[in-house]
Amino acid sequence: MTLIRKIGRFAPYGVAAGGALALSACNDSGLSQRSLQPIPPETLALMEQAGVTKESPTLIRSYKKESEFQIWKQRPDGRYVYLKTFPMCRWSGQLGPKVREGDRQAPEGFYSITPGQMNPNSSYYLSFNVGYPNAYDRALGHGGGSIMVHGACSSAGCFSMTDHQISEIYAILRTSFNNGQRAIQMQSYPFKMTAENLAKHRLDPHIGFWKQLKNGSDHFETAWREPTVGVCGHHYVFDAAPTAGHSLDAGAPCPALRQDPQIESLVAEKAAKDDAKIAELVAAGVKPVRVVYQDGGQHPDFTARIAEVSRPDALTAPPTEILIEEKPIKAPIRIAAAKSPVVALAAAKAARVQAAEASPATTVAIAPAAAAPAPTAPAAVAETELESTKLAALAAGAGAIGGLFGLRREAEAPAATTVSDVAKSEPAPAQPAAVKPPAPPRRAELKKPQASIATKKPEASIEKAKTPRAEAAPAHILPAIATASLRDAAPATPLASQRP
């Protein structure tokens, strides 16, 4: 009995010890400890060298083509300084924005990360949501969601890092949030906005969108301050605020905006220098290309570990650069209504030649041919109209390419030949001579009336083609593209060994 009483006295301590052991075992699972790992000493040393602290505000810049994930920290004067780059283990899809659920595209644009988007219990070690879709994506109807930066080196539309990398990145963001930063800006780019990259991708279908991102990049790289981001008229606007009584609506036209003249002057100056560099590269023979991946890419640092990533088969071959042929702009062809099958066939042939040589923005207009007595005329007219329809569709689909970032080649426009000019130059049709009513025809003369039929004036009316003159797009429609490498424009007091 005494022994039982002694054991009973220690029973509560045993239960408490067992509970503590169970709790310790739960913690050992790593679900709660992963998100609490400290920033490595090496990174803290870089912060000290850069004149920032671990609590300083953070900014992220990522580049898909280069597979780089950069961390920037804010100095006491409000300017950001580059800290370090994490090589990206895996990203999926192609260069270009994400537009729908399941397209395996890593998004491009300006996004905001808040404390509520941090996930310490991720199935991919640790993760945080980048904030896709933003106001710009929603205005364009782009769908999908749950785009993460996470570990496990596996991507289906996300930015994938190694577990060790995401642990450090997570710790940097967590520390900034704990010190009061409400949102961390993530600037996601297809590639570094250099003159070399933009010259090569100048005819890519996404170049109009990338020019918007370039403008945001210029705002950051001229002042080294986080740019304010707005959306109106289905476009990004940076460091701009609406005038009194107005607001920004992503789907509505932009109202009058207030901008800092000093910042805008610096951005314009940088854009002019970058435009000149792009023109120089094009003149030197840099060809326009489109880069096609099997399914995204990864940083060269991970080449030896290809078996550890998602879809390793998609990484066995490098991306393919497809040359895009760039041809000079020519004036549109204008052809009068055809009087004969020969003219109709010539019109169709000229249209095909023009289609092969015209730029994407050139529209070929062809007037329909009049019906001719010969049986081949309707086929020729149909062929001409079909070619015109195809060419109009081709021009409409590719017209968004425009000029070369503000550079425009003037077309050598010969005087257009109008319908009336061609009509004047052709001889008047022969009028049938007046004849007496013929006597009843004999059997041998039955075929003679066909000769008179051939001399009759065709009854088909010739309608003048009113084709508007195609003009080159004004330069202001496609704003000038500016490019600059972070290596060429380093932030104030950059780290000599850690430039992006």
Label the pairing between strands 320-323 and 289-292. Answer: antiparallel
User: What is the C-alpha separation between 205 and 290, in angstroms, rounded?
Assistant: 9
pLDDT of residue 316: 61
User: What is the C-alpha separation between 144 and 154, in angstroms, rounded?
Assistant: 18
Question: Which residue positions in the chain have pLDDT lower than 70?
Answer: 1-32, 304-316, 328-500
Q: CA 426: distance to chain centroid?
A: 51
Which of 288-313 are b and which e, b meaning 16 or more Cβ less than 10 Å from the residue's Cβ?
bbbbebebbbbbeebeeeeeebbeee
* Gyration radius from the chain CA atoms: 34
pTM of the model: 0.62
User: What is the C-alpha separation between 134 and 109, in angstroms, rounded?
Assistant: 9
User: What is the C-alpha separation between 258 and 302, in angstroms, rounded?
Assistant: 46
355, HSE (Cβ side, Cα atoms, 13 Å): 20
Q: Report all structural domains of the chain as residue ranges with CATH numbers, in order of start.
A: 28-190+299-308 (2.40.440.10), 330-425+462-471 (no CATH)
User: What is the C-alpha separation between 151 and 169, in angstroms, rounded?
Assistant: 10
Beta-carbon neighbour count of residue 114 at 10 Å?
Answer: 14
pLDDT of residue 77: 97
Q: Which residues are catalytic?
A: 150, 158
Q: Which tens digits make up the pLDDT trace of 68-115?
A: 999 999 999 999 999 999 999 999 999 999 999 999 999 999 999 999
Identity of the residue numbered 133: P
Which of 63-86 are b and which e, b meaning 16 or more Cβ less than 10 Å from the residue's Cβ?
bbbbbbbbbbbbbeeeebbbbbbb
Sheet containing strand 68-74, strands side by side: 80-87, 68-74, 58-63, 184-189, 109-113
Beta strands in 177-324 (DSSP E): 184-189, 229-232, 235-238, 240-242, 257-259, 289-292, 320-323
Q: Which tens digits make up the pLDDT trace of 21-61?
A: 333 333 344 566 899 999 999 999 999 999 999 999 999 99
The owner of tokens 């550890």 is 308
